Structure 1
Amino acid sequence: MISLNELSLHYGDKLLFDDVNLLLTSGKRYAIVGANGTGKSSLLRLIMGQETPSLGDILMPKGVTIGWVKQDHFRYEDQRVLDVVIQGKKALWQAMEEKEVLLNGEWTDSAANKLTYLEETIAHYDGYMAESMAHTLLEGVGIPLSFHEKPLSLLSGGFKIRVLLAQALFEQPDILLLDEPTNHLDIMTILWLEQYLINEYKGLLVFVSHDIKFLNSVSTHILDIDYGEIREYPGSYDNFLIKKKEIMDQKLKETKNVEDKIATMQRFVERFKAKASKARQANSRMKMIDRIEIPDIKQSSRVSPGFDFQCKRPSGKQVISVSGISKKFGERTVLDDINIKINRHEKVAIIGHNGIGKSTLLKIMLGLLAPDSGNVEWGYETQTAYFAQDHHEALKEDTSILEWLSHEVPTESPAKIRHILGQVLFTKDDVEKNILSISGGEAARLLIGNIMLTKPNVLIMDEPTNHLDVESIEAFSKALQNYSGTLLLVSHDRHFVSKVATRVIALTEEGIKDFHGSYQEYLKYYKEDYLSRAFLKGSK
């Protein structure tokens, strides 16, 4: 279905990958993995035709359809949400529009013939089931039924992206390309998307994701971008990690064997080169040494940051008490009589579907948003750090990485600040970058570096893994597991939540479910069908 022939891509002096030869076939689901900046999204853009390779070709059969989430919601602001989804099939939408014009115009023999043709086109694209299918997809991606007939402009930015995801799925293209599809989704919607891609979508899927559970559930093959190449591994992400390690261990073993052989021959040469009886043998071994090639083990592009969270001093036993918190936005109640007490050392994951009030609750706790009623009381000696979902809330000044961090922690020495920046993977040149132009992953690591320097005893984090690569998420998980302070976490990343949380608070329309235990234990205890619509509405 997609043939990559001697494909190379580089930007200036930076080589992303070289001489790639792969055949991606229909019915398979390929996950592209690799460190930030190695070319995962670039490979998707090459397939889309939005970018040109430095060398080589990408070949596909004629007439093949390619679908992706187009990020152009501004085109549809005044259109009905349902219609935005149906426009995923352009030929169908055009036929439906032409039919509408035809039925409202003058009736002639020509119009009758045209109508027959349009009816055949609409039937060919299952047009008479289009609205039903669009409703199903919209509910699947978490858009409430009450919004389906309303203009797209009434939805928030994250929900508009969900509508465009539904549009891409509605198209049912031969090739579907998805770049971080879980970023704007809550846990329950991610589960729905997994099942849809596994059971309903029959074409060729190529996707990028940092969600390890999503990778393991959906992928049938892994495309690993590393060492300046793209290598295909069959199976899940976990299987890929095992196979890649085996290959690297084998390369290291082969290299050691060759080096040991050279060392043995070198010792023979040194010992006998001066003896006339052995000089000929020694000379022969010297020539053999010159001909031996040591296997080239290239430097991996994967590096893990050194995240480490410390507390300057411990907090009191009770960290925060939330009493009777309620909040409305217009006529919509987001939080209603929320009561929570959190103690020292707890690592609390706050979960629930989008729009239920998770981020709002965090902001009320921090005093960034006033509740309509209720109180928030922080305990003795609590010192908080907040990681906002929107990095622009903290990084909006026209300054360099080094200058921003120096301003945030003026009491720290320049050497300590540079050391921390190095730990979170900023090189000597990187620290001079303007923070307005850095990537999402760089912004996340910078904010984490700031937290490492301030050493708070309470961390409040809203979707902190959104822009981190897999290596960074794993390092982040371990650092939070080892953190001696208190954590309040909102995240859609089930792998991350499962590793970190010791308590789960689920927000639902019927109140909260407060469970002391891990996320896996929470699911086992409640025995809920968390793919069902009833669960999303908060019923037991």
Structure 2
Amino acid sequence: MRDVRLLNFELPNLRGGGPNLLSGANLILARGRRYGLMGRNGCGKTTFLTALSQRKIDCDEDDGGVPTTVRMLLVRQEIIGNDWSAVDTVLKSDVKRESSAEIEANKEERRKKLRQQLVGAHNRLSEIESVEGGDPEPRARKVLAGLGFTPEMQDKPTSALSGGWRMRVSLSCALFANPSLLLLDEPTNHLDLEAVLWLERYLTKTFTGTLVVVSHDRCFLDEVVTDVVHFHGSTLTTYKGDISNYESVLIENKIRQSRQREQQEAKRAHLQKYIDLHAQAGENGVKASRQRKSKQKKLDKIGEIEEVEEEEEVVLIFPDPGSFDKEMIQLEQVKFGYNENDILLEDVDLTIDLTSRVALLGRNGCGKSTLVKLCVGGLKPVSGEAKINPQCKIEYLAQHQLEQLDPDGTPLSTMVDRYPGDRSNTHIGELRRYLANFGLGGMVLPVQLIHTMSGGQKCRLCLALAMYRKPHLLVLDEPTNHLDLETTAALIEAIRNFRGGVLLVSHDQHLLTSVCNTLLVVENRKVQVLQGSSNKAAFEAYKKAVVSGKR
């Protein structure tokens, strides 16, 4: 595959007009490199990936654009379910093999006309089989297994799978087809931590094409990307290295730009002062006039270094729930199953209070969601006790809560509908000030239609709805799925400062290791505490065990 050269191109704003998202932008995607596309929620990252995948980016130069020989795949949404099994769907996605096999199947009736094409088809099949093996099914099953599919699930029709699992089928299709240019939009959103770790290894060890990925998962990006493309100010800037290196370079550039501007302004002020003083002194002789003109020319030649533009900081402020001296939740020897032959959890002991920062780890289907429901009273144990203090206020922010927002509503109207109060202007003003604690203040955002908001803004609204009652315990299920890195950092800081308890289910490694004081693994019906000299050390040991197949 040749490099993809996107030169001096525009990216229109598809949300009801407005200025272009990109103007005069340039981007070169080098063969075999892996690019992380960074930028605030709503800046246009998904729009760019869509335009790129549809070859709708017009470039000025003759050699610009995506070459027709480049095979591209964009993974952004779940497949539509049908009667094909997951493994059949993945096998059908391999365009290289399918097209070659179709040509071979038609050789008898079109032998003469397609003789040259047949030779090419056989050659392509030979190349594919030499790299991937003669029978593609074992490789397809290996990819599906890596993303968490059991053998039984692999043979299920995709119509019987949930949206999250169909999203995994879509991702499996892309990995199996092995395109020249792979575009991934938030690939970790529907994955558990174990599947994320597998995907990291696959993209870095097995995949040989060029990758462009949008993700909120900092650790995933640090492991995978070789370059960072910053989407900012209607242009694209490429930085070598991972996210940590990109952030360091960004800070250094801002410091350098700020110093250069200060020096420039000091020089400008010095020259202007000299000119003004001479003029005030009335020195109008030939020599004085010549000196002033010389200084004026130097002043005019000074270029303009732009002032460092600081992005608006995202701040989340969780309200203080007040004191609560007793234990909020206590599970003692809990056993649960939906029937006697399907026991998911047994001998579970767990205590949660105001100081708790508990994270649940484990593969999808191991019982994490079941354990959460037992903790919040959504399920009753078969045996043992699940005690929930009746005075404890609990808020549960589910993974799919964003989908339940009224798309035609606004943040302010949603808050008023949920917490109407006396609907007075005083109450509405209080709700406006409260929304500002979640980055939804000002004159525009509180009355913006929800369907025009970014995923991160919607997530902040869901957090605002959940925290208004000042809960003692906040239960979060994959809270970072729709957040950019800046908002994730704000969430981490808010949890650190929160005076209530937190129960967390997440695949985001940075979030888990930054805020949690207890890491629990749900595995083989048991709930065990990860042991280590520190939480970070315990988590790293767990990751190694998962990658090596020991867990």
TM-score (norm 2): 0.87
Alpha-carbon contact 1:273-1:283 (below 8 Å) kept? no
Could you say which residue in structure 1 is the equivalent of 2:219?
213
Alpha-carbon contact 1:29-1:221 (below 8 Å) kept? yes
Could you say which residue in structure 1 is the equivalent of 2:357?
347
Measure, in 1, the Cα distance between the counterparts of 2:407 and 2:335: 33
Alpha-carbon contact 1:327-1:334 (below 8 Å) kept? yes
Residues 352-399 of structure 1: CA deviation (Å, up to 9, x unaligned):
111222223223322334555554322374222221111246524753
Measure, in 1, the Cα distance between the counterparts of 2:542 and 2:47: 42
Seen in structure 2, the aligned counterparts of structure 1 residues 274 and 354 have a Cα distance that, compared at 3 Å, is same
Alignment partner of 1:146: what SS?
Answer: helix
Alpha-carbon contact 2:402-2:459 (below 8 Å) kept? no
Segments of structure 2 that go 5 or more residues without pairing to the other structure are none
Could you say which residue in structure 2 is the equivalent of 1:10?
12
Measure, in 1, the Cα distance between the counterparts of 2:170 and 2:19: 33
Q: Which moved more, 1:476-485 or 1:124-133?
A: 124-133
Q: How far apart are 1:533 and its partner, in Å? A: 3.5
Alignment partner of 2:23: what SS?
Answer: strand
Could you say which residue in structure 1 is the equivalent of 2:234?
228
Measure, in 1, the Cα distance between the counterparts of 2:341 and 2:84: 24
Aligned-pair identity in percent equals 29
Seen in structure 2, the aligned counterparts of structure 1 residues 85 and 524 have a Cα distance that, compared at 3 Å, is closer
Alpha-carbon contact 1:314-1:381 (below 8 Å) kept? no
Q: Which moved more, 1:497-506 or 1:52-61?
A: 52-61
Equivalent position to 2:38, from 30, 33, 37: 33
Residues 156-190 of structure 1: CA deviation (Å, up to 9, x unaligned):
22111111111101111111111111111111111
Seen in structure 2, the aligned counterparts of structure 1 residues 54 and 331 have a Cα distance that, compared at 3 Å, is farther
1:529 aligns with 2:545: yes
Equivalent position to 2:251, from 206, 221, 245: 245
Equivalent position to 1:429, from 428, 444, 457: 444
1:253 partner amino acid: R
Seen in structure 2, the aligned counterparts of structure 1 residues 141 and 312 have a Cα distance that, compared at 3 Å, is closer
Measure, in 1, the Cα distance between the counterparts of 2:213 and 2:540: 30
Could you say which residue in structure 2 is the equivalent of 1:406?
416
2:320 partner amino acid: C
Seen in structure 2, the aligned counterparts of structure 1 residues 182 and 255 have a Cα distance that, compared at 3 Å, is same
Could you say which residue in structure 2 is the equivalent of 1:538?
none
Seen in structure 2, the aligned counterparts of structure 1 residues 475 and 268 have a Cα distance that, compared at 3 Å, is same
Segments of structure 1 that go 5 or more residues without pairing to the other structure are 536-540
Alpha-carbon contact 2:84-2:158 (below 8 Å) kept? yes
Measure, in 2, the Cα distance between the counterparts of 1:506 and 1:151: 30
Show the 5 A alignment for 1:69-468: 69=75, 71=77, 73-74=79-80, 76-93=81-98, 122-126=125-129, 128-277=134-283, 280=289, 281-282=291-292, 284-286=294-296, 288-297=298-307, 299=309, 302-323=311-332, 324-328=334-338, 332-379=342-389, 381-392=391-402, 394-396=404-406, 398-411=408-421, 413-426=427-440, 427-468=442-483
Residues 121-152 of structure 1: CA deviation (Å, up to 9, x unaligned):
65443272301111111111111122222322
Alignment partner of 2:77: what SS?
Answer: coil
Q: How far apart are 1:99 and its partner, in Å? A: 7.7
Alpha-carbon contact 2:438-2:461 (below 8 Å) kept? yes
Seen in structure 2, the aligned counterparts of structure 1 residues 70 and 423 have a Cα distance that, compared at 3 Å, is closer
1:44 partner amino acid: L
Q: Which moved more, 1:192-201 or 1:512-521?
A: 512-521
Could you say which residue in structure 2 is the equivalent of 1:44?
49
Alignment partner of 1:3: what SS?
Answer: strand
Aligned positions, number: 528
Alignment partner of 1:498: what SS?
Answer: helix
Alignment partner of 2:503: what SS?
Answer: strand
Alpha-carbon contact 1:227-1:298 (below 8 Å) kept? no
Q: CA RMSD in A?
A: 3.2
Measure, in 2, the Cα distance between the counterparts of 1:333 and 1:101: 53
Q: How far apart are 1:415 and its partner, in Å? A: 2.8
Q: Which moved more, 1:249-258 or 1:280-289?
A: 280-289
Measure, in 2, the Cα distance between the counterparts of 1:184 and 1:503: 23
Q: Which moved more, 1:311-320 or 1:249-258?
A: 311-320
1:504 aligns with 2:507: no
TM-score (norm 1): 0.88
Q: How far apart are 1:295 and its partner, in Å? A: 1.1
2:318 partner amino acid: F
Seen in structure 2, the aligned counterparts of structure 1 residues 119 and 370 have a Cα distance that, compared at 3 Å, is farther
Seen in structure 2, the aligned counterparts of structure 1 residues 95 and 197 have a Cα distance that, compared at 3 Å, is same
